[in-house]
Structure 1
Amino acid sequence: MNLEKFRQSLPIYSIRHRLIAEINKNPTLILLGETGSGKTTQIPQYIYGSHSHMKGMIACTQPRRVAAITVAQRVSQEMNSELGKTTGYCVRFEDCTSPETKIKYMTDGMLLREAISDPLLLRYSVIILDEVHERTVHTDVLLGIVKSAQQKRSTNKKFHKPLKVILMSATMDVDEFSAYFNKAPVVYLEGRQFEVDVFHSVQEQTDYIFSSIATIFQIHKTAPVNEDILVFMTGQEEIESTVKTISELNKSNGKLSPMLVLPLYAALPSAKQLKVFEKAPSGCRKVIISTNIAETSITIKGIKYVIDSGMIKGKLYTPQNNLELLKVHKISKSQAWQRTGRAGRESSGICYRLFTESEFESMTLNTVPEILRSNLLSVALQLTALGIDDLINFDFISKPSVEALTTALNDLELLGAVKKFFKDNNGTENPEPVSKKRMISFRYELTEMGRKMAHFPLDPKFSRCILSADKLGCVEEVLKIVSVLSVDSVFHAQTNTSNKRDQAEAARQKFSSADGDHITLLNVYKAFMANKSSSKEWCQENFLDLKNLKLAVDINKQLKDICTKNSIKLTSSSNDSVKIRMALISGFFMNAAEYQKENEYKTMTSRQTVLIHPSSVLFNSKPACVLFNEIVKTNKTYMRDVSVISSNWLMETNPTYFKSKIKNLNDYSLSNLNSNIR
């Protein structure tokens, strides 16, 4: 079937004229289109075809980069044009567009970043927010930004062209979205979903990884080899380990057909992600082990079987103790149906759910929006950078708690990114609080430092570290550390044999620093760059992850470019560890902990009992005071990415904040801490 015939066979084709009429008639349209209807690829083309004279671009946002890239590739192919010309894409670290681009697929985060410099989104005539049911933080914030831009452009005569907004999904609460956009009309689209047989587990599974592997081999022994398998799991480490196990088990059994086992997760470089779309060699079955990145928008040809673990890794934030955790938990019913649909894109399929029918019935109907369970520090910075000085009353579709928003704003103030202005009943503003009787409100305004922080596509704490490194003369070193921390672990976990574990530990000792994990990661990055010509062999010898290190190098390049554009000199401290750790403290001073007893620490902010994670180079040490990047909770609560610091450094960084925090720690000086501070 040629491309034109394929397009005409899509369910959306028969109502294309009605769709265009509805888009022309309404400022906002909600499109509930079943999987396989063709909405993501066709609607931008229909709009472009009927409005070719339109000056502004058509933006179509996706929650994930792999979807933005692959859909753009497909549409440019259908339009018989070179990718990056009429149709292009823009994702983090990659912009494949040109002045000719009219249809632009992009991640929601990239459109949000554009809004910082263009709050009214004047470059666009139509904005399509796809897969809005996923309710990522970026999507929820974008809904508010796009709604505001649409209202301002419709009432201001300067802007001759109003902004059209289209919301799309296969599963969403249409009433909630319609009400949010002033009773926007809803159009329902039938899909081209083939029948999928769903089988639930007879009994509850205690180990979904083992069950997934067992199910894969059951299928592999009986099903035709050209029928591929998609398995849903939770994260990179789990996926990479499963890929390795399946590959080795299949190779060890000479009677089985070969398998091409491929990972798919967000941190995987684009080139590696795109391998899942390539056809497997003849006589070989393709098995893809993926996170929820494969739930929506993308179609992987050849998938006949889906194995759904029923689990996902998501954020959970508690503003009371300012603690954000990544926790594996059950999916929602809507996610389960999205996963099931991956088996019926091209023909009938089968979905094996590794949970019982009663477990499915007990699942929540929809996923809790990410914005209600996340640290809002980045959101607060982005919105303040957009000129929104009253976040408490910002028009969120799902409003976060006042406590979560206030915590984020207070933390930004501590980081020096915003300044609070108080207003009295006379309308006078003052940077200092006035009498309680007279004070009626306050607002936050971005500082010069905050403006620079907003240019970095990073957690504001990392951005603050980079700006402090500029003053301390160690930008090169801090950028390298931040780049490595922006990817998943660069160390390969060795769990197969004690001999391999010992070898991996011995290799790691070559990079270890008594100052902690941050300097250790810096040593790894520098050694990798020094051995780049033989990086594959070198990484194998040292049990390091080549993919993640290459991605860290790409991120480092991007961050250097942002520094250059913002007049931040790429200085080097010649490995002055104290300066580097001082720079890290400026962003993470709220993540400090003091030693108590029996290897336990207490965080200085929430006084929570924590331990140093076993993966840390400081696991067997007992430094008096440490800095950490994050807390993870399993059966115990651990600090990850830990460095030795001095309490004096904390006092130097933010004396007001720490005056009440450091209670139990003795007043060590640098000379007293020679055994711990290097």
Structure 2
Amino acid sequence: MNNKNSYVSGNRKRSWSSGNGGDENCIANRRRGLPIYSAKQRFLSEIRRTHTAIVIGETGSGKTTQIPQYLLESDLAGYGVIACTQPRRVAAITIAERVALEQNSELGDEVGYCVRFDDTTSSKTRIKYMTDGMLLRESILDPVLKKYSIIILDEAHERTVHTDVLLGIVKGAQEHRTHSIHPPLKVIVMSATMDVDHFSHYFNQAPVFYIQGRQHPIQLLYASEPQSDYIHAALVAIFQIHQKAPAEEDILVFLTGQEEIESLLKAVKDVAQDCPDDCPGVQVLPLYASLPPSMQMKIFNPAPRGKRKIILSTNIAETSVTIPGIKHVIDTGRVKAKSFKAGSGLDILRVQRISQAQAWQRMGRAGRESSGNCWRLYTEEEYENLKPNTVPEIQRSNLSSVVLHLLSLNIRDVLHFDFLDPPSKENLVDALNQLELLGAMQQRNNNELTSLGKQMSVFPLEPRLSKILISSRQYSCLDEVLAIVSMLSVESILITPNNKREEAHAARKKFLSSEGDHITYLNIHKAYRGVGGNKDWCHDNFINIRSMKQAEEIRKQLRDLCIRENIPRSTCGKDTTSIRKCLTVGLFMNAAELQRDGTYKTLDNNRHTVSIHPSSCLFQCKPAYVLYQELVHTSKCYMRNLCVVDPDWLNDAAPSYFRNRCISR
């Protein structure tokens, strides 16, 4: 490794000094001890003079928790609400809980949060933490967002689809309110790192403020030569640290996914058994999105006495969580990311190089509590060749939900919407075509939404699932479809521990359906409700209880929306044919046909060769026709979440779509 000392600092357009740490036992002292506190008065003075500001606050500066409170306490918000958006629901919830504590307020009174299917806010709420997706949904009913006096768009550097669309909508609402009877809207865009000039230019040369953080010195070490096997290089780096560093110095390793994490976890445990007697023991913990919450929370606990905590994580640990005790970060320089191919419905999931911005975020995890070390498993030259910023998600995603949202705001000319970084015209046209095929809009009528499209926009779901829910009226299966859609809207409901794979598969056999994964999910849901959501039952059947509880809450709220939209409650009992016909109405564009050679080909214009994903209950089967929820390209092109269908149902669901497509009967 090459040594390179790096201290988090930077040169921005305006710089404020940071403060020293305070007494952690007292909330008031702790707030005064945050770096942003010494900049409070100057910050407020600047915000009073401008309608828009870009705030760069280094990791640990306190910007996310303190700035909304400063704005409230200074009466800058007037009678309006302060919204602070977050890309992830976990962040919105945990930050709101923290700020409510600092305000000595019950959660839901002065401070609350609003995430999909979970809203703790009330008429008394003045600081509202929310996901950017929820503020987007509010904009459908209130395009100028008049209930808000200040909108803070936090973690803007993550550039999620929702964040990018929200930037355009908030900018438009702000401009509208400067020429209307509504009070002006202040907008603050915040991040730990971003292309500030790009954001400033987008918001009409808005001033950029830099708040120095409480980042401790970090020693940066590069690989002396490129690493062909970064997993092995990570293993070597772990034990280089382990044999020299004190036991209380924990290690965080960034990997790309569950499979890599489980593989390295086993390797670390095996090698640790052969370490010298004077080496500390190891506690190796995984961290990835689909991990059960009880296992995720273990990373926050101190390691047992005499042991070192080694955390193997995906990029979930880059920004959304701060793990105490981390002294060493090992950055493999890779991430697993999706990109959408317009016209094919193909999500390509591949391991790729991170951006320089991601590399700095990862490095920052090592300096939260004290000085630390970051081991980059790539050379300095490789770092210099990385893209400065991550490609925005909006340029590599299916945009049908985005376009439906814009049309519901009566923004017809979506091709010329004021995006910060416009997606390709091909992706936007593809989204328009998808919505027209679903019956949601008519391009010949200037992209006007149909009555079905207006109803689809009410549901916080992707358009295909919204149409399935609405179509349940025709097939008298609302109860069943609600259960299926809610379970498709959460993280994986199935837990398959690496050391208990056979046991997990055996336990789940009783739920499997020869009609596909959707009916399997329905069987699991019925069984779960049959035992009253029993925790032990979930454990014994390798079911993620947190995901099931979340799915139940989603089901209830979707049912309330159905009642509001006059979709009557109905059940088809054991008639799963009605359910599969209903699924066909929304997923007909995702159909595949078995070929004579045993492979499948999609029935769209591209005729992709596809395979059934190994996780599907149909993996060992060969039904003639299937619907799939998504296509994912890893080692090859896989169909995920499948349903067996009849070819006649496809023709009935979309006769014009299949008119020129050969379907055997």
TM-score normalised per structure 2: 0.88
CA distance in 1, matches of 2:384, 2:552: 45
The alpha-carbon distance between structure 1 residues 495 and 167, as it changes in their structure 2 partners (threshold 3 A), is closer
Q: Is the 8 A contact 1:593 1:625 kept in 2?
A: yes
The alpha-carbon distance between structure 1 residues 622 and 299, as it changes in their structure 2 partners (threshold 3 A), is closer
Residue identity in the other structure for 1:290: S
Indicate the residue corresponding to 1:233 in structure 2. Answer: 255
Shift of 1:558: 3.4
CA distance in 1, matches of 2:267, 2:453: 46
CA distance in 2, matches of 1:521, 1:471: 22
Q: Is the 8 A contact 2:82 2:152 kept in 1?
A: yes
Q: Is the 8 A contact 1:153 1:162 kept in 2?
A: yes
Unaligned 5+ residue runs, structure 2?
A: 1-22
> Does 2:633 align with 1:609?
no
Residue identity in the other structure for 1:561: D
- 1:367-424 deviation line (CA, Å, top 9, x unaligned): 01110010101111111122212211111111111111111011111112223344xx
Unaligned 5+ residue runs, structure 1?
A: 423-442, 669-678
Shift of 1:111: 1.1
CA distance in 1, matches of 2:108, 2:307: 34
Indicate the residue corresponding to 2:208 in structure 1. Answer: 186
Indicate the residue corresponding to 1:479 in structure 2. Answer: 482
CA distance in 2, matches of 1:272, 1:97: 29
The alpha-carbon distance between structure 1 residues 612 and 258, as it changes in their structure 2 partners (threshold 3 A), is same
Residue identity in the other structure for 1:417: A
More displaced 10-residue stretch of structure 1: 449-458 or 255-264? 255-264
Shift of 1:501: 4.9
More displaced 10-residue stretch of structure 1: 109-118 or 511-520? 511-520
Percent identity between the aligned chains? 54
> Does 2:346 align with 1:347?
no
Query: Residue 17 of structure 1 aligns to a residue in which SS?
Result: helix
Query: Residue 144 of structure 2 aligns to a residue in which SS?
Result: coil
CA distance in 1, matches of 2:455, 2:64: 35
The alpha-carbon distance between structure 1 residues 571 and 213, as it changes in their structure 2 partners (threshold 3 A), is farther
Indicate the residue corresponding to 1:527 in structure 2. Answer: 527
- 1:578-610 deviation line (CA, Å, top 9, x unaligned): 111111111111001112222111111121111
The alpha-carbon distance between structure 1 residues 240 and 114, as it changes in their structure 2 partners (threshold 3 A), is farther
CA distance in 2, matches of 1:94, 1:281: 36
CA distance in 2, matches of 1:623, 1:488: 27
Residue identity in the other structure for 2:512: S
CA distance in 2, matches of 1:365, 1:492: 37
Q: Is the 8 A contact 2:407 2:447 kept in 1?
A: yes
Equivalent position to 1:164, from 186, 192, 200: 186
> Does 2:648 align with 1:648?
yes
Q: Is the 8 A contact 1:11 1:37 kept in 2?
A: yes
The alpha-carbon distance between structure 1 residues 80 and 281, as it changes in their structure 2 partners (threshold 3 A), is farther
CA distance in 1, matches of 2:524, 2:68: 45
The alpha-carbon distance between structure 1 residues 531 and 355, as it changes in their structure 2 partners (threshold 3 A), is farther
Residue identity in the other structure for 1:418: M
Q: Is the 8 A contact 1:34 1:190 kept in 2?
A: yes
More displaced 10-residue stretch of structure 1: 74-83 or 641-650? 74-83
Equivalent position to 1:224, from 246, 256, 274: 246
Shift of 1:174: 1.6
Shift of 1:491: 3.7
Query: Residue 511 of structure 2 aligns to a residue in which SS?
Result: coil
More displaced 10-residue stretch of structure 1: 73-82 or 98-107? 73-82
> Does 2:100 align with 1:76?
yes
CA distance in 2, matches of 1:325, 1:575: 37
Query: Residue 419 of structure 2 aligns to a residue in which SS?
Result: coil
More displaced 10-residue stretch of structure 1: 447-456 or 210-219? 210-219
The alpha-carbon distance between structure 1 residues 280 and 65, as it changes in their structure 2 partners (threshold 3 A), is farther
Q: Is the 8 A contact 1:70 1:298 kept in 2?
A: no
Shift of 1:519: 1.5
Query: Residue 23 of structure 1 aligns to a residue in which SS?
Result: helix
Equivalent pairs counted in the alignment come to 639
Query: Residue 574 of structure 1 aligns to a residue in which SS?
Result: coil
> Does 2:468 align with 1:465?
yes
Residue identity in the other structure for 1:651: N
> Does 2:176 align with 1:177?
no
CA distance in 1, matches of 2:374, 2:132: 30
Indicate the residue corresponding to 2:415 in structure 1. Answer: 392
Residue identity in the other structure for 1:172: M
The alpha-carbon distance between structure 1 residues 280 and 495, as it changes in their structure 2 partners (threshold 3 A), is closer
CA distance in 2, matches of 1:190, 1:630: 43
The alpha-carbon distance between structure 1 residues 215 and 89, as it changes in their structure 2 partners (threshold 3 A), is farther
Indicate the residue corresponding to 2:518 in structure 1. Answer: 518
Equivalent position to 2:136, from 112, 126, 140: 112
> Does 2:578 align with 1:555?
no
Q: Is the 8 A contact 1:133 1:172 kept in 2?
A: yes
Shift of 1:290: 3.2
Query: Residue 229 of structure 1 aligns to a residue in which SS?
Result: strand
Shift of 1:48: 1.2
The alpha-carbon distance between structure 1 residues 599 and 47, as it changes in their structure 2 partners (threshold 3 A), is same
Q: Is the 8 A contact 2:303 2:309 kept in 1?
A: yes
The alpha-carbon distance between structure 1 residues 577 and 488, as it changes in their structure 2 partners (threshold 3 A), is same
The alpha-carbon distance between structure 1 residues 101 and 280, as it changes in their structure 2 partners (threshold 3 A), is farther
> Does 2:334 align with 1:311?
yes
CA distance in 2, matches of 1:501, 1:345: 37
The alpha-carbon distance between structure 1 residues 579 and 533, as it changes in their structure 2 partners (threshold 3 A), is closer
> Does 2:361 align with 1:338?
yes
- 1:271-322 deviation line (CA, Å, top 9, x unaligned): 8766654555666654444332332264333322222232222220111323
CA distance in 1, matches of 2:627, 2:302: 47
Matches within 5 A, 1:201-600: 201-209=223-231, 211-212=233-234, 215-216=237-238, 218-235=240-257, 239=261, 262-267=285-290, 276-277=299-300, 285-296=308-319, 298-422=321-445, 443-493=446-496, 496=499, 501-532=501-532, 534-536=534-536, 538-600=537-599
Q: Is the 8 A contact 2:349 2:634 kept in 1?
A: no
Query: Residue 510 of structure 1 aligns to a residue in which SS?
Result: helix
> Does 2:81 align with 1:57?
yes
Q: Is the 8 A contact 1:477 1:575 kept in 2?
A: no
CA distance in 2, matches of 1:238, 1:618: 25
Q: Is the 8 A contact 2:438 2:464 kept in 1?
A: yes
Q: Is the 8 A contact 1:311 1:331 kept in 2?
A: yes
CA distance in 2, matches of 1:87, 1:285: 38
Q: Is the 8 A contact 1:66 1:274 kept in 2?
A: no
> Does 2:164 align with 1:140?
yes
Shift of 1:627: 0.9
CA distance in 2, matches of 1:242, 1:99: 49
- 1:43-100 deviation line (CA, Å, top 9, x unaligned): 2122112116711111111111222222223323333333332222222232222222
Considering only aligned residues, what root-mean-square deviation do their CA atoms show, in Å? Answer: 2.9
Shift of 1:116: 1.4
Q: Is the 8 A contact 2:78 2:149 kept in 1?
A: yes
Equivalent position to 2:45, from 1, 6, 21: 21
Indicate the residue corresponding to 1:672 in structure 2. Answer: none
Indicate the residue corresponding to 2:629 in structure 1. Answer: 629
Residue identity in the other structure for 2:118: E
More displaced 10-residue stretch of structure 1: 649-658 or 63-72? 63-72
CA distance in 2, matches of 1:560, 1:247: 47
Residue identity in the other structure for 1:174: V
The alpha-carbon distance between structure 1 residues 71 and 242, as it changes in their structure 2 partners (threshold 3 A), is farther
Q: Is the 8 A contact 1:71 1:298 kept in 2?
A: no
Q: Is the 8 A contact 1:66 1:270 kept in 2?
A: no
Q: Is the 8 A contact 2:289 2:491 kept in 1?
A: no
